[in-house]
Each structure stands twice: as C-alpha cells, then as structure tokens.
Chain A
C-alpha cells in the first residue's frame, strides 16, 4: 500500500517569509501524480498544485512551487512571500496513474500559521 508522510505537524513563519513544507511517499509504482491541497479554517479543500511523476520540471503556480525528487520520493511545497491568507492545513496526496479510480492517498497534514 502507498503511504504519504508529512513530518511537520505544525509550522509558523512571519508574513512575507518563504516556507517549505515537506512530503515523502512510499510506492513501488513508477507512474503517478502528486498533489498539494490547502484547507483553510472554512474547511474547504482547495487544490494548490499538481505534479506528474513523468515530468522532470517542477510545477509552479504563482507563489507556490514544488521540489519534486523522484528518486528520493520527496515532494515538498515552497510558498514564497507568504501571506496571512496562507494560514491553513496543507495536505500532500498521491494518486496512481495506471488506471482505476481509487482516489487519492493523503498525508496527515501540516498546519501552517502565518504570523503578522
């Protein structure tokens, strides 16, 4: 079974700083997708960024970027110029790309607090 590990239960940084959230995963598959979701206090689950495992180039979405290291099975999220609205739970997730519909496997989450 696939597992996703987020080793930082909580992080706190000052506004405008850069912060990196770590995620590692364990799988024997070679084709898969990785995602980061944000969950603010409203409880909504919001897709932040996704990465295809076959792509070497790291995905970026505005202030959000990933550092994808396939050999190390690592998928960290970097948030640049952090804002108060970035305060949320962040979940890393994995999905097999070989067919089937068995959804995402999630990590336990990192609670990110942006201090003013």
Chain B
C-alpha cells in the first residue's frame, strides 16, 4: 500500500520556468491538499480539493494552479516560477470524517534560482 506518492522528490527551476508537481493516493480518500513548508513558518495550505471536480484556495494560493484529475490524483502547477516559491511541497489526503488525520506524501524540495 503506497499511500500518498509525490513526484518528483527534488527539482531545480530557473525563474520564469513552469512545472507540475504530481500527487496520487491509493487510499480512496475524498479530500486532497497541497501545503508548502518554509523554515520557521510551519505548513501553509496552498489549495485543496474536497472531492473530485472541486478545488478551493487555501492560505497562500497566489502563483499556483491545481487540477483534481480524478479521485486519485491532484496536481500543483507553477506557471512562472519565482524565487519566493522555493520551498518544500507536501501533498496530503484524508477521508471526509473530521477526526481522520491527513496522510502525507514525502514532499518535493523545489529550488527556484
């Protein structure tokens, strides 16, 4: 059981380049999330998807777009990368029940030069 799988693990981009971070879960979860983690800032929510076909903005959505391709997959796209987007990105998923914890992928370390 793989859980939540993120690709790639590491990426270096130049300012202005674009890329898509991929995320897939095999736990049949309804809700999926993208967080970014920066030193001293904890994890901040970028976007989330309550169910297939729906997406909503989180705390820090500017500069990002998302696609909930199907129930399993939720991708995060940077159209024009900026150095301020240098971060570690985590995908997570959960059942709809509120006491269900989030299950996290292993993260993507992105550096924008």
Other-chain residue from A9, A47, A91 in contact with B40 (beta carbon distance below 8 A): A9
Main SS class of interface, A: loop
Q: Are A43 and B42 in contact, CB atoms less than 8 angstroms apart?
A: no
Q: Are A103 and B92 in contact, CB atoms less than 8 angstroms apart?
A: yes
* Cβ distance B57 to chain A, nearest Cβ, rounded Å: 10
Q: Are B90 and A45 in contact, CB atoms less than 8 angstroms apart?
A: yes
Interface string of A26-56 (1 = CB under 8 A from B): 0000000101000000111101001010000
Residue positions of B touching A, CB distance < 8 A: 30-31, 33, 35, 40-45, 48-51, 56, 58, 88, 90, 92, 94, 96, 98-99, 101-102, 104, 106-107
Residue positions of A touching B, CB distance < 8 A: 4, 6, 9, 33, 35, 42-45, 47, 50, 52, 91, 95-109
Residue pairs across A and B with Cβ atoms less than 8 A apart, 20 shown, are: A4-B42, A6-B42, A43-B88, A45-B90, A45-B92, A45-B102, A97-B98, A99-B98, A101-B31, A101-B49, A101-B51, A101-B94, A103-B48, A103-B102, A104-B43, A105-B45, A107-B42, A108-B40, A108-B41, A109-B42
